[in-house]
Structure 1
């Protein structure tokens, strides 16, 4: 089974209610990134 690999950048932020994650960007990984991931998996 093959899935889709995504790259994510997020920031950990804090407000009066506590800590939360703020999504900065999300994109589908390139073929090269997928190959590197599979190599070190």
Structure 2
């Protein structure tokens, strides 16, 4: 995905979340969502 983004001239690649952020970074992600790591699980209703 990072290679495709680069070939299209896209400056950012958003991939990954709390559970797989290390893999996402290894794959070239420039943005990773880590909300659960910071704020914990969402409350259930």
Q: Normalising to structure 1: TM-score of the pair?
A: 0.21
State the structure with more CA Rg: 1
Name the structure where helix makes up a greater proportion of residues.
2
Name the structure where strand makes up a greater proportion of residues.
1
